[in-house]
Amino acid sequence: MSTTSSRRPVGATHLKAPAPDAAGDTGAIEATVKRILADVKARGDAAVREYAKQFDKVDLERFEVSDAERKSAVAGLDPQTRRDTEFAIERVRAFAEAQRATILPLEVETLPGLHLGHRVIPIETVGAYVPGGRYPILSAPVMTLVPAKVAGCDTVIACLPPTAHEAMIAGCHLSGADRIFRVGGAQAIAAMAFGTETIPGVDKIVGPGNAYVNEAKRQVFGPVGIDQLAGPSEIFVVADATADAEMIATDLLAQAEHDIHTRVGLITTDRALAEATIAAVERQLEGLSTANVAGPAWRSNGEIVVCDSEEAMIAYSDFIAAEHLQVHTADSHATAAKLRNYGSLFIGPLSSVVYSDKCCGTNHTLPTMAAARYTGGLWVGSYVKVCTHQWLDERGVAAVAPPAMRQSATEGMEGHRRAAAFRLSRGQLLAR
């Protein structure tokens, strides 16, 4: 049986353990973000403009990307890049539409005269933060903007750093952004949360970013919704003796090149595979052009675990609750059915994280830092509200009023008791 406990499971031995966590000066980040949020809330565009100059070294006369600039960015795309971007958009849209079709309104009469239900209501205004980052991740706007449009949100805006590659603006345009702004960092989160003279306030903010963006999302949460608090990317593989060490090493390094803080790991029942994977990673690093990033990630955060049994392997995987979880076992579907905690699952050796990262259709904005123990990733359902309603006739009131009156009396809530009793007496009069 797998475990959802935060306690480390038994029966697992590390051949390579990650370095101890180095939390860094989170207090300084928190204080800086708090100051930026307050400043943008008080001074709007002027503060945003000053922070763009301070952090991005850009003096912006206006923030919004014009229609002409949007079209120019699209026209400037390499033709094959545009085709590939549109392929990704279609795949993400098709899957989001299929998911949306499963989220249905409800009307049910649970007792005679007692009618309950819910409506599925799109969030009115959504803001997507599109990170600049180490690479121009062309799929990033696809993942945050396309599901919002499928969900039916009225207005979807995108904010991206003013230094972002022009292809990212093209991606926002092709993905359906209603408005695009050249604003990045914590100041972008503040602008979307509070609104400025030119940037509209939104109801929910989605999309990953750096530590300052993450902290800003945390601080504005409440009046404004957020999708999640995202940490560095993660990939783990659960595998048995049938797995290919070279393939696993390739996949670990593919994810490791995201950031030096990326977590990568193998959880296996086969020691020989574990040892072969360590050797393959070291060998492949020698010829990897992004080894300056992937190497530190592997050395600091790489984890290779040998488990006593399949049960222990499943339990350890559920303990880790990885963002991306690949399954390389003799019967990958059977193993997958036993797993519980993951952001997204990649079943079988032909299912690589890279396909989801780029274009296969599932969303790549996923829970990290063990949040997969309680939530999944971004999806079309993140952009709608499921809101309940009820209506009663005299029969329904006759059924629910007496217990509601008794419970209210027991709790000492006389106003509640009267509200229930009033409708009961009125219903009896109307029934005569």
H or E, element range at 185: helix 185-194
Structural tokens at position 194: 């509070």
Is 69 a catalytic site residue?
no
* Cβ atoms of 345 and 327 closer than 8 Å: yes
Task: Identify the CA nearest to 175 among candidates 78, 94, 63, 93.
Answer: 93
Give the number of other CB atoms < 10 A from CB of residue 405: 17
166 part of the active site:
no
Are 294 and 249 spatial neighbours (Cβ–Cβ below 8 Å)?
no
Which is catalytic among the residues 173, 258, 261, 324? 324
Helices (H), 324-372: 332-338, 353-358
Closest CA to 91 of 350, 362, 382: 362
Mode of pairing for the β-strands spanning 204-206 and 125-129: parallel
Burial 354-390 (b: 16+ CB within 10 A, else e): bebbbbbbbbbbbbbebbbbeebbbbbbbbbeeeeee
CA–CA distance, 94 with 359 (Å, rounded to integer): 11
Residues 285, 327, 143, 26: is their CA dihedral positive or negative? negative
Residue type, 61: E
Question: Residue type at 109?
Answer: E
> 155 in helix, strand or coil?
strand
Q: Give the C-alpha separation, 432 to 429, whole Å.
A: 5
DSSP string, 291-313: HHHHHHHHHHHEEEEEESSHHHH
Q: Which of 257, 323, 328, 364 is catalytic?
A: 323
The Cα-based distances of 81 to 60, 146, 167, 169, 177 in angstroms read 28, 18, 9, 13, 19
Residues annotated catalytic, as ranges = 323-324
